Structure 1
Amino acid sequence: MADMQDGAFRHDNMDIPKGDRVLPLFSLKGRTAIVSGAGAGIGLAVAHAYAEAGANVAIWYNSNKQALAEAENIEKTYGVKCKPVSKGLRRWPTAKAYQVDVVSAEAVDQAINEIVNEFNGRLDIFVANSGIAWSDGAFIDGPVETARKVMAVNVDGVMWCAKSAGAHFRRQKKEGTTLDGKPLENFIAGSFIATASISGSIVNVPQLQAVYNGSKAAVIHFCKRP
């Protein structure tokens, strides 16, 4: 078991949760989750799962405006708060949207703080699912800017999300309160989850995606314990 220097949280957390029944231990009622890259696919499915378990969910997406309708659907289906968050969009009648860019540490930090304030003053789960693929053939023939963008979104984006979310997890563990000072209930530790790929562990022949493979390998190693 590897403790952090300040003892705020640790890997291999073996603390026993409160409760004497099994089913409530699987409930996420009252928790807040943020899922990036949740306009469709894996991220959207994760958002649905958390909402079904009772969590309030904030959806981050880049350009897929269908996420607005998906957020409304999640709210109606599961009776929880679900807000879509997107880069460069204004506020909408049925859900709120914010300007977020996962490659910007400042934008990520601002968005997380705003969401925590607007929901219930706490953050329990962050799923870093934003990512882009490489489709420009051999790396040596591909555009430099595309390679930089893949690394920025897939690697930097995960790092900045982990940094900002982790700061909230640590504060909550230390102080035992929500952001507005209320007692924090049912919080043992925050959960940070990043979507990687089997391509970060093996070489998918004949796929020409060295940059993508490298970015996902970085995510896998970044999320391993020190």
Structure 2
Amino acid sequence: MNLFDVQDKVVIVTGAGRGIGRSVAKGFADAGANVLVCSRTERELITLREEIEATGGICEVAPCDVTVQSDIEHVIRIAIEKYGKIDVLINNAGITKKMPAKDIALEDFKQIIDINLTSVFLFAQLVGRVMIEQGSGKIINVSSVASSQGLTGSIAYAASKGGVTMLTKTLAIEWAEYGVQVNAIAPAYVETPLVEVVKQTREGFEAAIINRTPMRRMAKPEEMVGACIFLGSEASSYMTGETIFLDGGWKAYGL
């Protein structure tokens, strides 16, 4: 028995156009899952589907604004009409804007909370209803080391990710009796387009992060795949409400 088998599972990945979401979607497809990828940018999703299909994988594209309920409902309809079920939801979509807390505009704060936290709840709630009806399902939320440690210049991001961690715990205990497991992964800095923007706008940022990380490098997006496969498979059958930190030793290292 392969405890890590995800063959033929139906997996929805949000924020799949680039970065962590793209790598996780490809990882599940390579492992034999039927992947439904979501993002606001359809062009990126189409190229992702082409990459997955070129290696024999199965991928459906569903452009989606994760802050719009009707868009999420459309994604769910596609999954149910095509496959008749949803096995795994990976809530990955997220943004950040680096600025001091004293300067951040309320509209920027709200936008980050809406995309990073409110959309996670909304997608989980709507997919969770399907999973409760099925009697099974796994939800994987992408949190961050910022969920447990303050990061300067990231007040809204840190608040949103702290919320994701507690949302994960609460959904897990509410839905455990229905066979629905809810867990999270919490990366430190990953080499994604989101982090690349910060690297280009903050002098010395990359060197500071590498020096602060015991493994002396940032993570690669594909290094998030293994934990997600674990959480999406029977290997994690007795695990719920937990957050796996993928941080190169960041959280363990105290100063």
Q: Give the structure 2 partner of residue 134 of structure 1.
A: 97
Residue 64 of structure 1 and its aligned partner are, at CA, apart by 6.5
Counterpart selection for 2:57 from 62, 69, 80: 80
Q: Which structure has more helix as a fraction of its residues?
A: 2
Query: Matched residue pairs, number?
Result: 171
Letter in 1 for 2:107: E
Distance in 1, Cα, partners of 2:48 & 2:41: 14
* CA distance in structure 2 between the partners assigned to 1:134 and 1:45 by the alignment: 23
In structure 2, the residue matched to 1:55 is 33
Q: Is the 8 A contact 1:37 1:129 kept in 2?
A: yes
Query: Do the aligned partners of 2:120 and 2:164 also contact (CA within 8 Å) in 1?
Result: yes
- Which whole-Å CA distance do the structure 1 matches of 2:45 and 2:125 have between them? 25
TM normalised by structure 2 equals 0.63
Where does residue 45 of structure 2 map in the other structure? 67
**1:7-26 map, 5 Å:** 22-23=1-2, 25-26=3-4
Higher relative contact order, chain-length normalized (CA < 8 Å, sep 6+):
2
User: After TM superposition, where is structure 1 displaced by more than 3 Å over at least 4 residues in a row?
Assistant: none
Aligned partner of 2:140 in structure 1 is 193
Name the structure 2 match of 1:221.
166
Unmatched 5+ stretches in structure 2? 174-255
Does the 8 Å contact 1:32/1:123 carry over to 2? Answer: yes
TM-score of the two chains, using structure 1 as the length reference: 0.71
- Coordinate RMSD, CA, aligned: 1.5
Q: Report SS of the residue matched to 2:62.
A: strand
For residues 1-226 of structure 1, the aligned pairs below 5 Å read 22-23=1-2, 25-63=3-41, 65-77=43-55, 79-86=56-63, 100-118=64-82, 120-135=83-98, 137-173=99-135, 189-204=136-151, 207-224=152-169, 225-226=172-173
Residue deviations 1:108-137 (CA, integer Å, cap 9, x gap)? 12321223212x1111000000000122x1
Q: Is the partner of 2:102 in helix, strand or coil?
A: helix
- Letter of the 2:20 counterpart: I
Aligned residues of 2:39 and 2:65 also touching (Cα < 8 A): no
Question: What's the secondary structure of 1:54's corresponding residue?
Answer: coil
Contact residue 102 and residue 161 of structure 1 kept, 8 A: yes
SS of the counterpart of 1:158? helix
Secondary structure of 1:139 counterpart? coil
Q: Which residue of 2 aligns with 1:94?
A: none
Q: Decide which structure has the larger Cα Rg and report it.
A: 1
Structure 1 Cα separation of the partners of residues 112 and 30 of structure 2:
32
Unaligned runs of 5+ in 1: 1-21, 87-99, 174-188
Distance in 2, matches of 1:51 and 1:107, equals 23
> Quick one: distance in 2 between partners of 1:55 and 1:61?
19
Deviations 1:38-63 (A, max 9, x none): 11111111111111111000111123
Give, in whole Å, the separation in 1 of the partners of 2:40 and 2:139. 20
1:3: which partner in 2? none
